[in-house]
């Protein structure tokens, strides 16, 4: 098994360990001279970005990826033997754990948002924190997104590390000016004098008949802002890891959670760990086609993958996790192996993450593609209330299966 320097955090490379998990994999014949990629699940390395320290332990996951059933927010299957003892929890609890650990570790970390304190958070991510840390560190704000986002950014200019919660990502549109001009650009326009180590987080995405205004995908709007990083979590494991990494990062990070994924259950390690902010996650290695996805669509993809495997296909599924910047290293490796790419996203067709990713792959890996990059996105419509219509707005597993069959002809 090869120890590989993984293209991880920009600051300070973190070396990665890989272990071979015999349960998982058939070693397929590689068409190229790629080193044995199949020996590695995926590598999670310390986000050394924030203070250059490599204190966080490196973890390697062994257990099988979660495969959600038809209703997304249900208990996940456990399969292979977990690493240590570990403990099981739901995704929102994992976020809370990560947040609490970071608040314990660094007194500069504080939380602000609507109903995060006494109410415990509208999705219970900040439950119990106000009792533990007090009202100043877990601040219940009035309903003024522009002002409290700006406030968090101003506080960050002096050295505090606020975690700003948007009760729903869509509400952060009201704070767009603060996020774009102040959060993203202050480090640059001040010639490097100020850093803005904020984390802006909240649930977004299409839920269950929440209506158009509460089903927005803000990652499409924020992706152009220079100076910010965007990550999307999808499992309890990476939720906790990304939360911790985002808090430790010196850059402003927007952490996209999904309304429907908060009740996912998984066993995560007891030991402290961090996920790399700029790294994609290999969910299922394969040979025939690369499927790139993130957040909730990962589960639709994995569901489709079951069908595809039955039909004889071998898709490689990558959860891109890092929406800005893209992990072109992992993606590129995969493209060079499979030569076909399917992007499955929840953003709308126009101007979404998939659109940017398509352009990036075409630009960088054009020579390796045997077929045009296909992107399945949500329809360019306001999300309707009616259940059936809402279902048709987003990409469903059946469409993914059809697309793969089409690409792999």
Residues annotated as part of the active site: 145, 214
Nearest to 178 by CA among 155, 156, 150, 198: 150
Instruction: Report, in Å, the least distance between residue 298 CB and other proteins.
Output: 20
Q: Each residue of 338-367: b (16+ CB within 10 Å) or e? A: bbbbbbbbbbbbeebbbbbbbebbeeebee
CB 183 within 8 A of CB 200: yes
Instruction: List the interface residues with other proteins, window 241-260 (CB under 8 A).
Output: 250-251
- Beta bridge mates, 102: none
> Could you tell me the two tokens for 387?
């259940």
Instruction: List the interface residues with other proteins, window 115-144 (CB under 8 A).
Output: 136-137, 139, 141-142, 144
Confirm or reject binding of residue 102 to other proteins (CB under 8 A). no
> Could you tell me the two tokens for 299?
């589960």
| Residue 48 or 259 having the CB closest to other proteins | 48
Distance CA 289, CA 294 (A): 16
Confirm or reject binding of residue 28 to other proteins (CB under 8 A). no
Distance CA 409, CA 389 (A): 30
Three-state SS at 347? strand
Confirm or reject binding of residue 231 to other proteins (CB under 8 A). no
| Residue 133 or 237 having the CB closest to other proteins | 133
Confirm or reject binding of residue 338 to other proteins (CB under 8 A). no
Confirm or reject binding of residue 15 to other proteins (CB under 8 A). no
Site string for other proteins, 341-370 (x = CB under 8 A): ---------------x---x--xx------
Distance CA 399, CA 301 (A): 10
Instruction: Report, in Å, the least distance between residue 251 CB and other proteins.
Output: 5
* Chain residues that interact with other proteins, rule: CB under 8 A: 4-8, 10-11, 13, 32-34, 49, 52, 110, 136-137, 139, 141-142, 144, 146-160, 177-178, 181-182, 186-195, 223, 226-227, 229, 250-251, 278, 324-329, 332-333, 336, 356, 360, 363-364
């Amino acid at each position: 098994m090869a120890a590989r320097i993984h293209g991880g955090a920009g600051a300070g490379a973190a070396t990665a360990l890989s272990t071979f998990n015999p349960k998982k994999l058939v070693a397929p014949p590689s068409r190229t001279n790629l080193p044995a990629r199949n020996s590695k699940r995926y590598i999670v390395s310390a986000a050394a970005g924030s203070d250059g320290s490599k204190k966080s332990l490196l973890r390697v996951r062994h257990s099988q990826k979660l495969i959600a059933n038809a209703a997304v927010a249900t208990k996940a299957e456990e399969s292979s033997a977990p690493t240590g003892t570990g403990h099981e929890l739901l995704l929102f609890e994992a976020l809370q754990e990560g947040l609490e650990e970071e608040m314990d570790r660094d007194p500069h970390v504080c939380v602000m948002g609507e109903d995060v304190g006494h109410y415990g958070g509208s999705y219970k991510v900040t439950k119990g924190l106000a009792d533990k840390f007090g009202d100043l560190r877990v601040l219940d704000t009035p309903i003024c997104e522009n002002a409290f986002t700006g406030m968090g950014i101003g506080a960050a200019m002096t050295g505090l590390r606020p975690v700003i919660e948007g009760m729903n990502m869509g509400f952060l549109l009201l704070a767009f000016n603060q996020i774009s001009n102040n959060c993203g650009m202050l480090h640059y326009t001040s010639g490097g004098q100020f850093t803005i180590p904020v984390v802006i987080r909240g649930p977004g995405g299409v839920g269950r008949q929440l209506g158009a205004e509460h089903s927005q995908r803000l990652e499409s709007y924020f992706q152009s802002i220079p100076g910010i990083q965007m990550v999307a979590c999808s499992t309890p494991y990476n939720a906790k890891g990304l939360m911790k990494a985002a808090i430790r990062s010196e850059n402003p990070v927007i952490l996209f959670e999904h309304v429907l994924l908060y009740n996912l259950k998984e066993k995560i390690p007891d030991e402290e760990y961090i996920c790399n902010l700029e790294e994609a996650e290999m969910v299922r290695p394969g040979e025939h086609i690369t499927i790139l996805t993130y957040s909730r669509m990962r589960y639709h993809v994995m569901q489709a993958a079951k069908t595809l495997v039955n039909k004889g296909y071998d898709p490689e599924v990558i959860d891109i996790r890092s929406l800005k910047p893209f992990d072109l290293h992992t993606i590129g490796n995969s493209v060079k192996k499979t030569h076909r790419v399917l992007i499955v996203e929840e953003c709308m067709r126009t101007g979404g993450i998939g659109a940017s990713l398509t352009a990036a792959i075409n630009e960088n890996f054009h020579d390796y593609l045997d077929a045009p990059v296909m992107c399945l996105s949500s329809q360019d419509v306001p999300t309707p209330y009616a259940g059936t219509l809402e279902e048709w707005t987003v990409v469903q597993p059946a469409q993914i299966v059809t697309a793969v069959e089409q690409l792999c002809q």
